Amino acid sequence: MITLYDLPTKTVPGTMITWRTRYALNLKNLPFQVVDVELPDVEALAKKIGAAPTSTKSDGVSPFYTIPIIQDDSTGAVVSDSIDIAAYLDKTYPSSGPVLIPTGTKALQLAFSSAVVDAFAPFRPFFAHNMTKKVNDATAAYFLRVRLGGVAKDAPEGEEREKLLTSAKQNLGKINKWFEGSEGDFVMGNEPCFADTAICAFLQFTRTMLGEESEEWKDVASWDDGRWGKYLEIFKPYEKLL
């Protein structure tokens, strides 16, 4: 059995990046269990189970540990970082589900997922406002201290809100243009790959944070001829939480 270490929330589980791995595991039809870890406990967990750090802290030296992390009982492997997890799943379970990182495309997949992260940046003030309410106290306090500098942000309103939404719309519109001439619904055509999990992870998180019934989410879902809402519909079978 594969264990996915993920952040517990009061509503839909998981945080933006860990959704890449939930989708990946489900796309590859691999059974997994989820073990909750609050953000302030990620470093201790990673050290305990031998998960590698994924980058360095702002001092440029100290190792920085992040989720998702998976632990695979059948091989003993512990893997962190969503791209490395996808590569591990491709290598270990080659005949199960689509190849997430077709040969030679790793750098391209990372360029795409980086573009996705940047494109969703204008939503961050909306996320920040809602995040502290939707996670447990330990994570909320950590998030407030480490990521928000101790100050809870108000939801963006008025002119600021319009500006952020317009900017997000332009960013997603740019990505939408990259799909022009594509024969399927996915980044690489007819089969989903790592880049699709990167987009859907952010769409999923955006929907949770804005609220599925909110005016903002309905807007996002309708942009680019409804591509973003439709994307999550297509990925719905891969949302299942084992």
106 binds a second copy (CB under 8 A): yes
77 binds a second copy (CB under 8 A): no
CA angle 232, 223, 171 (to 5 degrees): 95
CB of 70 to a second copy, least distance (A): 18
Question: Which 168-207 positions form the footprint of a second copy (CB under 8 A)?
Answer: 174-175, 177-179, 181-182, 187-189, 191, 195
Kindly tell me which residue out of 95, 103, 150, 151 binds a second copy, with binding defined by CB under 8 A.
103
The string of DSSP codes covering 164-185 is HHHHHHHHHHHHHHHTTT-SSS
Return the bridge partners of 72, or none. Answer: 2, 77
- CA separation, residue 204 to residues 16, 56, 66, 237, 238 (Å): 8, 27, 19, 13, 12
Kindly tell me which residue out of 45, 110, 141, 232 binds a second copy, with binding defined by CB under 8 A.
110
Nearest C-alpha neighbor of 20 from the set 122, 121, 113: 113
Would you say 175 or 200 has its CB closer to a second copy?
A: 175
Whose tokens are 């996705």? That residue is 116
Q: How far, in Å, CA of 165 to CA of 98, rounded?
A: 34
CB of 128 to a second copy, least distance (A): 23
Would you say 114 or 214 has its CB closer to a second copy?
A: 114
First to last CA, the chain: 11
Question: Which 20-49 positions form the footprint of a second copy (CB under 8 A)?
Answer: none
Kindly tell me which residue out of 59, 61, 95, 107 binds a second copy, with binding defined by CB under 8 A.
107
CB of 173 to a second copy, least distance (A): 12
Would you say 36 or 189 has its CB closer to a second copy?
A: 189
Kindly tell me which residue out of 19, 23, 112, 235 binds a second copy, with binding defined by CB under 8 A.
112
Whose tokens are 């909110």? That residue is 214
Lay out the sheet containing 32-36: strands in order across: 32-36, 2-6, 69-72, 77-80
226 binds a second copy (CB under 8 A): no
How many residues make contact with a second copy (CB under 8 A)?
25
CB of 51 to a second copy, least distance (A): 18
Would you say 27 or 37 has its CB closer to a second copy?
A: 27
The secondary structure element, H or E, covering residue 162 is: helix 158-178
Over its C-alpha atoms, the chain yields an Rg (Å, rounded) of 18
Would you say 145 or 178 has its CB closer to a second copy?
A: 178
Q: Which residues bind a second copy (CB under 8 A)?
A: 102-112, 114-115, 174-175, 177-179, 181-182, 187-189, 191, 195
